[in-house]
Chain A
Amino acid sequence: QLQLQESGPGLVKPSQTLSLTCAVSGGSISSGGDFWTWIRQHPGKGLEWIGYIYYSGSISYNPALKSRLTISVDTSKNQFSLRLTSVTAADTAVYYCARDAYDSRHSFDYWGHGILVTVSS
């Protein structure tokens, strides 16, 4: 059973960089056919797709975040990461990592539990 687990600081100061990591267990991030994805949910709001990375390093970003966003992958550690610069209060959200089963179920079939990140001084 694939499991994803987000980690990182729960509090980030405005204008600083938000960094999160998603550890994948129960399967290999390099197995192919899947896009490793970040999704966020603002408090009391709906879901927003942030972007994904393939194990080879190919990426796709939400244009609304692209200028501040970097998603990277470390296949040796079986994990992928998100880096969002120049954060503001509008970046306060629960951040989820998920698997986009591009080659099979065409959906987000595994999710992490999510991590609340608050942007505040």
Chain B
Amino acid sequence: QSVLTQPPSVSAAPGQKVTISCSGRNSNIGKNYVSWYQQLPGTGPRLLIYENKKRPSGIPDRFSGSKSGTSAILGISGLQTGDEADYYCAARDDTMNPEWVFGGGTKLIVL
């Protein structure tokens, strides 16, 4: 069972917006930055969002992140079929048990 809690799946039609939640504790999300990763089928994870809401170069502004208290949200607008993937949230954990924790992943289905 993952330390951070994500919904197993979300779905929406092309062009629509979807949000993926990530819930944790004060020791991880509450006190540390949240990052989000996209894993397309058969590939390794790719950084989508860092420091709660910043996007690396090359990541379109359709992807957004936010954090409030011990929860974070990934938003994806203007959905495309190519966005169909697994999405993971992550944060450091001050308990150091372990030092980094992940969400269980959310499968985005673009209908």
Contact = CB atoms under 8 A, between A and B. Distances in A.
Q: Secondary structure at chain A's binding surface: helix, strand, loop or mixed?
A: strand
Given A105-B51, A109-B47, A113-B44, A47 B98 contact: no
A106 to B, nearest CB: 4
Interface string A79-112: 0000000000000001010001100011111111
A48 B100 CA distance: 8
Contacts of B45: 47, 96, 108, 111
Contacts of A63: 97-98
Interface in B89-105: 90, 92, 96-105
Given A108-B37, A111-B46, A46 B104 contact: yes
A63 B96 CA distance: 8
A49 B101 contact: yes
B56 interface: yes
Interface residues of A, number: 25
Contact of B35 (A48, A62, A108): A108
Contact of A112 (B33, B44, B103): B44
A96 to B, nearest CB: 6
B63 interface: no
Contact of A47 (B50, B54, B92, B102): B102
B44 to A, nearest CB: 5
Contacts of A111: 44-47
Interface string B67-107: 00000000000000000000010101000111111111100
Given A106-B35, A112-B44, A46 B102 contact: yes
Given A46-B103, A46-B105, A49-B99, 14 more contacts: A46-B2, A47-B88, A47-B105, A94-B44, A96-B45, A105-B47, A106-B92, A107-B33, A107-B51, A109-B47, A109-B50, A109-B56, A110-B47, A112-B44
5 contacts: A46-B103, A48-B102, A106-B35, A106-B51, A108-B37
